[in-house]
Amino acid sequence: MSSYTHELQIALLAVQRATLLTQKVFHTHAKGTLSKSDHSPVTIGDFGAQALIISAVRHNFPSDEIVGEEEASSLRENPSLAEQIFALVKESRLEDAEAEGLLGGPVQDAEAMLGAIDAGSSGGGSKGRIWALDPVDGTKGFLRGGQYAVCLALMVDGDIKLGVLGCPNLPVDDAAELSAEVGGEGRGVLFAAVQGEGATSRPLTKGKLAEGKGIAMKEVKDITQATFCESVEAAHSSHGDQAEIAKRLGITQDSVRMDSQAKYGSIARGAGDLYLRLPVRKDYEEKIWDHAAGDLIVREAGGEVTDANGKRLDFGLGRTLKSNKGVVAAPKAVHETVLKVVKEVLSGT
């Protein structure tokens, strides 16, 4: 039995419960808007999902630290918004009583919700047990009904031991062709990995966990036939550099652009092959919550994840990946080939 069996169960259930809230926020608040004001749907989804997940983590592991994306000061200054979010939080519960009980049940009141959100204030680091949480990764994807992910990872002494991604708009079918399209039945998947134990996927449910099955990256025998995943937003990754890398590798298929760590999950199960996130600014530092879960899931599925210089991502330096620039994720057998071209393009050779 895994030494992280309990942590994995709680992480899976906590992420699953949080996706119920994000889906409700989208269907009741998010139609036809890209607003980022205080009352914007993404604000409600971020705060609500963070409160639910941190509440579950604290109930089970009260001495663990949590690095979360949000903090509650703006909600304390806006009680009406806080009450609006709490109304969603208290309604978001798993239909299976035993599963809900494992998470500690509903958040008791608005003040408890605010306290849970603020408990995500850890500075991170390389000592002890620290959870990294992104309650809604892929803000614009979430708002337009595209790909987004609820992301949770556990680090112990700076090393990722466990990662979970909840992707409500990805197909359940691991064999489904990689596509940016969203819609239709059979969507909603939970990816997970424990260090040294492989990666899994399972359908998202509204109650107890569905059964998981192992996933693995696709063997790439011919790099020219590989499929790229990249970010939708040009501000997140250099599309021009990526196009040049694809050209030099002989890849002619169009890249598939999607938001969030859904890209990590997609390549981990073989729906895509390569994920590049190339630096757009020299001073930009990636946030650990944007990569921690996906990094482990891809590596446990047989992939390699490094930065654009070939260094492993270092999650033990605080809230950002201070020592890394960019991300290159690929099957182990071709990672070195891809990385070589990445270095050439980024250096202008």
**CA gyration radius, the chain:** 19
Report how far residue 55's alpha carbon sits from residue 45's, in angstroms, rounded to the nearest whole number: 15
Confirm if 164 and 192 have CB atoms less than 8 A apart: yes
Cβ atoms < 10 Å from Cβ of 77: 10
Report how far residue 84's alpha carbon sits from residue 37's, in angstroms, rounded to the nearest whole number: 15
Q: Give catalytic status of residue 259 as yes or no.
A: no
Q: Please list the helix, strand and coil fractions of the chain in percent, rounded to the nearest 5, in that order.
A: 40, 20, 40
Q: Of 43, 46, 174, 241, which one is the catalytic site residue? A: 46
Q: Give catalytic status of residue 273 as yes or no.
A: no
Interior/surface letters 36-60, b for 16+ CB within 10 angstroms, e for the rest = eeeebbbbbbbbbbbbbbbbbbbbb
Q: Which residues pair with 105 in a beta bridge?
A: none
**Phi and psi (nearest 5°) for 225?**
-95, 5
Write out the E strands in the chain.
Answer: 65-68, 129-137, 149-156, 159-171, 187-194, 199-203, 213-215, 228-230, 256-257, 274-277, 303-306, 327-331
Q: Of 139, 200, 227, 306, which one is the catalytic site residue? A: 139
Report how far residue 52's alpha carbon sits from residue 107's, in angstroms, rounded to the nearest whole number: 7
Specify the 3-state DSSP secondary structure of 240.
Answer: helix
Cα–Cα–Cα angle for 68, 305, 264, rounded to 5 degrees:
60
Q: Provide the annotated active-site residues.
A: 46, 139
